[in-house]
Amino acid sequence: MTSFLAALLLSSALLVVLVRSRRLEVEGFPSASRRAFALALLTFTLGVACIAPLLEFSETDPNQEIPDLPFAALFLGHGLLSAFLLLWWLLVGRPPVRDFLHLRLDGLADGLRLGAAAGAAGWAVTMTTMAIVGTVAVAFEPGIVPADGEIPPTVRTIVELTWYQRLLLVLSAGVVEEAFFRSFLQTRCGLPLSTLLFTTSHMSYGLPLMLVGVFAVSLVFGLVFRTRRDVIPCMVAHAVFDAIQLFLILPAVVAGS
């Protein structure tokens, strides 16, 4: 409860700074009360999804066994982000969904091809970045990178899911996370902060080197979005990246451990 309240306080402070410095672009609302309620929802969502994992990071043990949870529990975070987007859309007056989420349906085939290429490129950039940072980190602190064979239980749990459960996770993450972090956050507070918040939202893994990879791939997705102002390539890229990880790389790593 203490960490939850601290997360909400930090999220509130962040929103106050962004609003007062005009670094958060908020569209017009039909009334001041709707605007206030929408900002309160944003404070809560950022606190739970992005700030709380950051506060708990130092206490997270990547080798700690995780309790058995129903499969649906894996989608709680995505459910929170989806509910937030729906409520904000309603409060702001139900603008066209294509405009609200930055969906460009013209040139859809080009967007899909770009997304597939960006997903593969993002994976290559991420692995290269992690390899470089890991090599440098080991030179200064040998124990910072887990030894071979130390696979976090979180990773093993995901790999042990059925193929269709992993596919659902891939699709959910690609659509919901990109809609929130790219369509919503990046358009309102810019690429650097949205990338940073995307990274902190994944800190529950408890692995510093993995967070380097999360930051790198988020930056790739953000640059694609800034270039096209279209979230569809980002959704495809995210799904391709996660599919490579969940269907190829992680199963091979776990099998060889």
Question: Contact 232/89 with Cβ under 8 angstroms?
Answer: no
Nearest to 159 by CA among 79, 66, 240, 253: 253
The pLDDT confidence band at residue 192, using thresholds 50, 70 and 90, is: very high
pLDDT of residue 61: 54
| Residue 105 CB contacts under 8 Å (≥ 6 apart), including other chains | 98
CA atoms within 13 A on the CB side of 135: 5
Tens digit of each residue's pLDDT (9 = 90 or more) over 61-107: 555 555 667 888 889 999 999 999 999 999 999 999 999 999 999 98
- Kind plus residue range of the DSSP H or E element containing 82: helix 76-91
Give the pLDDT mean for 201-211. Answer: 80
* CA 228 – CA 40 distance, rounded (Å): 30
pTM of the model: 0.92
pLDDT of residue 138: 72
Residue 148 pLDDT more than 90?
no
The pLDDT confidence band at residue 47, using thresholds 50, 70 and 90, is: very high
Torsion angle defined by CA atoms of residues 185, 44, 10 and 225, in that order, rounded to the nearest 10 degrees: -10
Question: Contact 123/217 with Cβ under 8 angstroms?
Answer: yes
Nearest to 217 by CA among 119, 145, 96, 104: 119
The backbone region for 96, taken as left when phi is positive above 0, alpha when psi lies in -120 to 50, beta otherwise, is beta
- Kind plus residue range of the DSSP H or E element containing 239: helix 231-244
Distances (CA, A) of 153 to 112, 150, 213: 34, 9, 19
Beta carbons within 10 angstroms of residue 15's beta carbon: 18
Residue 144 pLDDT more than 60?
no
Residue 139 pLDDT more than 80?
no
* CA 152 – CA 149 distance, rounded (Å): 9
The pLDDT confidence band at residue 146, using thresholds 50, 70 and 90, is: low
Distances (CA, A) of 83 to 79, 90, 166, 231: 6, 11, 22, 18
pLDDT of residue 96: 97
- Give the least confident one: 92-96, 113-117, 160-164: 160-164
Alpha carbon 197 to its chain centroid, in Å, reads 8
Domain boundaries, the chain: 2-255
The pLDDT confidence band at residue 11, using thresholds 50, 70 and 90, is: very high
Give the residue with greater pLDDT, 139 vs 66.
139
% pLDDT > 90, the chain: 70
Give the residue with greater pLDDT, 175 vs 157.
175
Residue 113 pLDDT more than 90?
yes
